Amino acid sequence: RFQRRVRACRYDIDQFTPNFLSIFDSLVPSEEEIAKQNQLVIALSRLINKEWPNSKLYLYGSCANSFGFSNSDIDLCLSIDDKEMSKVDIILKLADILQAGNLQNIQALTRARVPIVKLMDPDTGLSCDICVNNLLAVVNTKLLRDYAQIDQRLRQLAFIVKHWAKSRRVNETYQGTLSSYSYVIMCIHLLQLRRILPCLQEMEATCYVTVDDNHYAYFDQVDKLSNYGAHNNETLSSLLWAFFHYWAYQHDYTQDVISIRTGKIISKHMKDWTRRVGNDRHLICIEDPFETSHDLGRVVDKFSIKILREEFERAANILQYDPNPSVKLFEPY
């Protein structure tokens, strides 16, 4: 049986918070960079609207969910209602429009799981990926951004976790490790369990969206929740400690699914995620908040689960014992 080892947080963990906060500050994009991104979105929208007046270009992913580092690529989603054209046709035509608009390095990836067009804007040097009609991603982007506004510790924690995951090379879905989106959800879940964040999807809904005939709703008046976590005064470094200890020693990989939709841990059994079906192995179970049949851990296989868990343990042990954890944690793999 899986043994749950629980250690007490080291008594001096809080002394490292200023170091982690300065790492956070160094990763946050500047106002200037954000303004540049917005300008590019406006310019691309104009160009695309000339051809498709009823289309709309949305920013999603890290540039819009408030968990983006400086210099990250821009994720865009083109919403277009054209019954005549397939997604692949739209992607190919979009590539032509961008070519004519003097954008560079244009590539239409029509055979990817999510077909996209890649481009680089020579004026700003920014790179973008544009997908088509993936509106659920726009909705989950807003959910993440709304959570980030409730308590600043979420953004700080998720930045450090993402920075760790990138340094240790466990943020590569094509290698069987987890997406940035998954790591942010894991951070939200931890803070929900510690009552630093509420569960917005369990509260009375104030925001409603319909995507492909499915209805989604949650409470989005987050400015009313700015004191929600104030009773809990844990600092960034003790939350980081808790994050890695949870995933190294406390999470029950055989039984549990984390769910920010419910703010709880639910059982694999209840979701029928107890065995492998096709490529879904359910070795680490993270429920998508909207596509609830979607296990964000489905990319993880029997090799990468070992790597992931070893990295969680390494990080937990550094935070427990290392005299200078804010250096060792991010040592390149």
Residue ranges in contact with ligand CTP by CB under 6 A: 60-62, 65, 67-69, 72, 75, 137, 140-141, 179-181, 296
Partner touching 140 among Mg ion, ligand CTP, none, CB below 5 to 8 Å by kind: ligand CTP
CA-wise closest residue to 46 among 116, 117, 101, 106:
101
Distance CA 320, CA 314 (A): 10
CB of 230 to ligand CTP, least distance (A): 27
Per-residue contact flags (x/-) with Mg ion for residues 4 to 43, judged by CB under 5 A = ----------------------------------------
C-beta closer to Mg ion: residue 75 or 295: 75
CB of 31: closest distance to ligand CTP in angstroms? 18
Q: Which is nearer to Mg ion, 135 or 205 (CB)?
A: 135
Q: What is the Cα–Cα distance from 82 to 320, expressed in whole angstroms?
A: 56
Closer by beta carbon to ligand CTP, 61 or else 263: 61
Q: Whole-angstrom Cα distance, residue 274 to residue 267? A: 9
Contact indicator for 146, 220 with CB cutoff of 8 Å: yes
For ligand CTP, the closer CB: 68 or 176: 68
CB of 126 to ligand CTP, least distance (A): 13
CB of 67 or CB of 241, closer to ligand CTP? 67
d(CA 192, CA 135): 26
CB of 162 to Mg ion, least distance (A): 10
Q: Can you tell me the distance from the alpha carbon of 145 to that of 62, in angstroms, rounded to the nearest whole number?
A: 10
Nearest one of 147, 301, 158, 298 to 240, comparing CA atoms: 158
By beta-carbon proximity to ligand CTP, the closer residue of 55 and 72 is 72
Residue 76 pairs with which residues in a beta bridge?
A: 59, 130
Q: Please work out the total of residues on this chain that contact Mg ion, with binding judged by CB under 5 A.
A: 3
DSSP, collapsed to helix, strand or coil, labels residue 188 as: helix
Region near Mg ion per CB under 5 A, out of 56-64, 120-128, 145-153, 218-226: 56-64
Our finding on whether 61 is near Mg ion (CB under 5 A) is yes
Choose between 61 and 289: whose C-beta lies nearer to Mg ion.
61
The interface partner of residue 179, options being Mg ion, ligand CTP, none and the CB cut-off 5 to 8 Å by kind, is ligand CTP
Identify whether the C-beta of residue 137 lies closer than 8 Å to the C-beta of residue 144: no
Which of 117, 150, 127 is closest to 219 using CA atoms? 150
What minimum distance in Å lies between the beta carbon of 132 and ligand CTP? Answer: 14
3-state secondary structure (DSSP) of residue 4: coil
3-state DSSP call for residue 128? Answer: strand
Name which of 332, 168, 175, 324 is nearest 247 in CA terms. Answer: 168
Q: Which of 17, 37, 55, 62 binds Mg ion (CB under 5 A)?
A: 62
- Please report, as ranges, the residues that interact with Mg ion according to CB under 5 A: 61-62, 75
